[in-house]
Amino acid sequence: MNNIILCSYGCGKEATHFFKNGKSCCEISKNKCSAQKKKNIDSHIGEKNIMFGKTFSEEQKENWSKERSGQGNSRFGKGENIKGEKNPNFGNGKKIEGENNPNWKGGISFDQYSIDWTPRLKRRIRTRDNYICKLCGSHGNTIHHIDYNKQNCTDDNLITLCRSCHTKTNFNREDWIQHFQEIKTITAYVCTRNRYDTTLSMVLQSVIFQTHKPKKIIIIDDSDKPIDMRTLPHYRYLFQLMDFYHIEWSVRFGAKKGQHYSHQMMNNSESALLFRIDDDTILEPDVLEKLTYVMRKGVGAVGGSILTPPISNQHIEIASGKIEDIYATPNKQWYEIKKTEEVDHLHCSFLYRAGIVDYELNLSKVAHREETLFTYGLKKAGYSIWITPCITWHLRNPQGGIRDGVKELYDHDEKIFQEYLSGSFSTDKLIVLDNGIGDHLVFTKVLPDIKEKYGKVTIACCYPELFEGENCISIAQAKIMLGNNIDNHNVYKFCWDHAWKDTLENAFRKLYL
C-alpha cells in the first residue's frame, strides 16, 4: 500500500491523474475533485469574493451593456457565419461515426473486461513497473493490454503507460503489439573469457537488478579452461536470483575464435532484440529500461555512456559519434551523455536489433573494431543508431578478457577497418574451401546465391582457378584471420554434427545461406 499516491487536493482518494506541476488528482481535472470544488466555492463566498461590498450605478451598468453589444462584442456576426451548411465541419459528425471512421475496429471498445480486471491487479502491475511509463519514462498510471484483448489479463500481457502514450497506442496497433512483445522478450548476453574471479559476477548482478529485466541471460564462455560455473558458490547464488526473478538463463561455450563469432551466434538467435554486455562493465540499474525508450521501429541499435573511472571531461567539446571523425575525435559515449541523439556507430555495450546484418568474421580472434563495423553496418542497412542518457561503467580489467591478443592481430583488424572506411573492402562473407577439387566444383553451383545475398565474397580455397574473377585468398591467410581455427567452415564437419542426409550442394547452402 506504500505505493498508492493520494490526491494532492485533500479528498483522501487514490490519485489517477498526474500533472506537469508535480501534483496529482483523483479526477481528470482538479476542479472536479470534491475537495477542490469546496475550496473554489469557499473562495468566492462573502468577503473572499473580489466584488464583495462594491456597488455600481444604473448608468454605469447601462454603459457596460452598450459597450458589449452589437459591434462592440468580439463575437459580433460570427455566430451567423458558422451556422448550418456555412460551417466547414457541417455534417462531418455523421461521416466519421462507426464503420465510416478510419480507426473503426469493429466496436471492440464496447467489449467487456475479464473478471480478473480489478483494482488490485492494476495496482500490482503499476508496482511491478515502478509506476513508470514503459514508452517514455514519465510517471505511469494507465494499464495497457499489449494484444488489445480485454479478456487477456495475464501479467505478461499488461504494461504500464502514461495517459499520453496510452492514447498513442490506439493507432498503428500492429506496430505497437510488435514493439511491446520485443521489449518484453529481450535477451541479454555476456561474452566472457578467463574472468570467473574478477568482474564477471559483478556484471551478472548488475543485469539481474535492472529495473527492466531481460527475459533471458546467456553467458558465452570462451575461457581457455572452461569450468562449470554452477560449482562456484557466488555464481550459484546469482543463478538462484535469476530463477527468483523468472529470468531464463544458460551458459554456452564459445568457439575460441574470438568474440565476433560469439556475437554472430547470438545474432542468429530467436530474440528480436539483443542486449550485449562486455564482461568488465557494470550497468547502472536503469540502463536497459532507458535503452528501450529509444528502441522503436526503424532503430537498429541504441547505447548509453560507457564511462571508465576516473572520469575526465578533457576534449568533451569535440566528441563525436560520426564515422568520419573516428580517428580525429573521442567517442561521445566516453562522456556522460546529456541528450538522446543519432550517431553513426556504437561502442562496447548496447541494445540492438538482431538478424539485420552479420558481424565481420574476417577479423582476427581479438575482433578489434567489431562493434563499430557492426553498428555502422546497421546504419548502412537503413536503420538509425542512437545514444541516450544512461551510464555503464567500463572497468577495463587487465586480467583475462575476450580481446587478449598480440599486436599483429590488432594491426590486421585495423587494416580491415581502414579498408572498409575507404570503400575498398566490400567483403560481407568469408568462404573457406579446405577440401578437394570435386567439392570446389559442387560449391560453384551455390556461389551465385551467396553473392546475391551478401554481395562480393572472399573465397579461401585450394583451387582458385575455378573462381576466375572472384576475390580469392589462400587457406593460410584464412587461418590468420580466424585465429588458426577454420573448423566452422568445414562442410564435412557440418554434415557430421547435423547428421546430414541430404546432398553436398544443399549442405553448402545450409552452411553459408
Cell of 33: 475533485
Split at pLDDT 50, 70, 90, the class of 71 is low
Cis ω on the peptide bond leading into residue 310 (within 30° of 0)?
yes
Selection from 63, 7, 14 nearest residue 31 by Cα? 7
Report the distance separating Cα 354 and Cα 272, nearest Å. 5
pLDDT given for residue 467 in this prediction = 92
Kind of pairing, strands 384-394 and 299-307?
parallel
**Pick the residue with more confidence: 56 or 465?**
465
Residues in the chain: 513
pLDDT given for residue 16 in this prediction = 73
Assess contact for 305 and 390: CB atoms under 8 A.
yes
Provide the 10 A C-beta neighbour count for residue 226.
15
**If you ran DSSP here, which 8-state letter would residue 7 be given?**
P
Report the distance separating Cα 288 and Cα 188, nearest Å. 9
pLDDT given for residue 60 in this prediction = 81
Mean pLDDT over the full length of the chain = 85
Report the distance separating Cα 359 and Cα 267, nearest Å. 8
Assess contact for 297 and 384: CB atoms under 8 A.
no
Rounded-to-5 percentages of helix, strand, coil across the chain: 40, 15, 45
pLDDT given for residue 75 in this prediction = 63
**Pick the residue with more confidence: 120 or 6?**
120
Q: Which helix (H) or strand (E) holds 259?
A: helix 259-267
CA torsion through residues 380, 358, 185, 256, sign: negative
**If you ran DSSP here, which 8-state letter would residue 461 be given?**
E
Average confidence (pLDDT) over 145-173: 92
Report the distance separating Cα 444 and Cα 440, nearest Å. 6
Q: Where in the chain is the domain with CATH 3.90.550.10?
A: 185-394
Residue recorded with cell 575525435: 329
Residue recorded with cell 576466375: 468
How many Å from the N-terminal Cα to the C-terminal Cα in the chain?
55
DSSP assignments along 276-292, one per residue: EEETTEEE-TTHHHHHH
pLDDT given for residue 89 in this prediction = 63
Split at pLDDT 50, 70, 90, the class of 426 is very low
Kind of pairing, strands 429-433 and 187-192?
unpaired
Selection from 295, 299, 319 nearest residue 307 by Cα? 319
Kind of pairing, strands 350-353 and 273-278?
antiparallel
Q: What is the pLDDT of residues 339-391, one digit of tens each?
A: 999 999 999 999 999 999 999 999 999 999 999 999 999 998 899 999 999 99
Q: What is the pLDDT of residues 293-348, one digit of tens each?
A: 999 999 999 999 999 988 888 888 989 999 888 888 899 999 999 999 999 999 99
pLDDT given for residue 164 in this prediction = 92
Residue recorded with cell 541494445: 351
**If you ran DSSP here, which 8-state letter would residue 312 be given?**
-
Q: Does domain 185-394 have CATH number 3.40.50.920?
A: no
CA 13 to chain centroid = 37
Beta strand spans in 372-428 (E)? 384-394
Q: What is the pLDDT of residues 458-484, one digit of tens each?
A: 898 999 999 998 888 888 777 755 655
Instruction: Enumerate the H helices of 328-430 as residue ranges.
Output: 370-380, 407-422
Is the pLDDT at 175 greater than 60, yes or no? yes
Cell of 446: 551455390
